[in-house]
């Protein structure tokens, strides 16, 4: 399975502090050709940049997860947006960013998520970079907000088939995480996402297809299962999803 790409992971997270280099090497040994490390706040954005600088097969996206907003003040938000602008030439996308209605139930907090998301949408558009969306129980609303963009990736997609089809009709990409190995709902998505708009990811250290911590090497579990679901050869799914990832992020 040459050339698989883990299109979304968090190698900078503390879960990898003890063996980060070994995890990266294990992924390479398992034919994971490239990894895209996604920032979720100021600190992880910086660490993602450092990882990308250290490894020519790791690429960074910089963002602000709705789950990290918390008590983030206007000054800190402006500082993060400036961080993204200053490093736009060193990254392949903006995000993850978006809406999370699963964790956020209060209307006022959801409104704030949307306000911040709009600013990041505008930034991605002005920079001409793909937007990586975190949307949980809010996929339809997130899609409404980004209809005007050209390049969008719905990371770790868990929404409906109808919203997925609408996103794909707009030319957007659907990234399925390794939790599809444990989820009948996600396996239905894997059967239905058009192959020219499908990406694969681990979202590691989360959503492991095995017990314990997830890691980029395990993206191969998804590739094998998708191939089985689609009645295709595993190398072909690896090739197609890697081509899609290269296309949307403009990487070789």
Is 77:68 a contact under the CB 8 Å cutoff? no
pLDDT at 36 over 80: yes
Residue 71: predicted pLDDT: 80
Looking at residues 103-126, what average pLDDT do you find? Answer: 96
Is 182:207 a contact under the CB 8 Å cutoff? no
pLDDT at 42 over 80: yes
Residue 1: predicted pLDDT: 45
Looking at residues 40-65, what average pLDDT do you find? Answer: 98
Looking at residues 215-240, what average pLDDT do you find? Answer: 98
Is 80:93 a contact under the CB 8 Å cutoff? no
- Structure confidence by residue, pLDDT tens digits, 138-183: 999 999 999 999 999 999 999 999 999 999 999 999 999 999 999 9
Topology, domain 4-249: TIM Barrel (3.20.20)
Looking at residues 228-250, what average pLDDT do you find? Answer: 97
- Structure confidence by residue, pLDDT tens digits, 70-97: 889 999 999 999 999 999 999 999 999 9
Looking at residues 181-207, what average pLDDT do you find? Answer: 98
pLDDT at 8 over 80: yes
Residue 70: predicted pLDDT: 84
Residue 2: predicted pLDDT: 59
Residue 231: predicted pLDDT: 98
Q: Give the three-state DSSP class for 45.
A: helix
CA atoms within 13 A on the CB side of 67: 11
- Domain ranges in the chain are 4-249
Direct distance between the N- and C-terminal alpha carbons of the chain, in angstroms, rounded to an integer: 17
The candidate with the shortest Cα–Cα distance to 63, out of 155, 144, 195, is: 155
Q: Quote the mean pLDDT of the chain.
A: 97
Task: Provide the whole-model pTM.
Answer: 0.97
Between CA 202 and CA 55 the distance in angstroms is 19
Q: Determine what percent of the chain is predicted with pLDDT higher than 90.
A: 97
């Amino acid at each position: 399975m040459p050339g698989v790409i883990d299109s979304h992971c968090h190698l900078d997270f503390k879960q990898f502090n003890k063996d980060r280099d070994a995890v990266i090497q294990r992924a390479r040994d398992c034919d994971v050709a490239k990894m895209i490390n996604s920032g979720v706040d100021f600190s992880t954005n910086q660490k993602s940049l450092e990882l990308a600088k250290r490894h020519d097969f790791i690429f960074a996206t910089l963002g602000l997860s709705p789950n990290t907003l918390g008590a983030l003040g206007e000054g800190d938000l402006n500082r993060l947006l400036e961080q993204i602008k200053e490093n736009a030439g060193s990254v392949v996308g903006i995000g993850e960013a978006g809406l999370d209605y699963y964790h956020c139930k209060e209307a006022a907090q959801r409104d704030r998520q949307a306000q911040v998301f709009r600013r990041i949408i505008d930034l991605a558009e002005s920079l001409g970079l793909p937007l990586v969306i975190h949307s949980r129980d809010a996929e339809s609303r997130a899609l409404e907000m980004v209809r005007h963009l050209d390049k969008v990736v719905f990371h770790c997609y868990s929404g409906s088939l109808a919203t997925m089809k609408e996103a794909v009709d707009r030319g957007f990409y659907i990234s399925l995480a390794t939790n599809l190995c444990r989820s009948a709902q996600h396996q239905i998505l894997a059967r239905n996402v058009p192959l020219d708009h499908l990406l694969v990811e681990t979202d590691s250290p989360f959503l492991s297809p095995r017990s314990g911590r997830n890691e980029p090497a395990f993206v191969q579990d998804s590739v094998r299962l998708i191939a089985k679901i689609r009645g295709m050869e595993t190398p072909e799914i690896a090739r197609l999803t890697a081509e899609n990832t290269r296309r949307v992020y403009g990487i070789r």
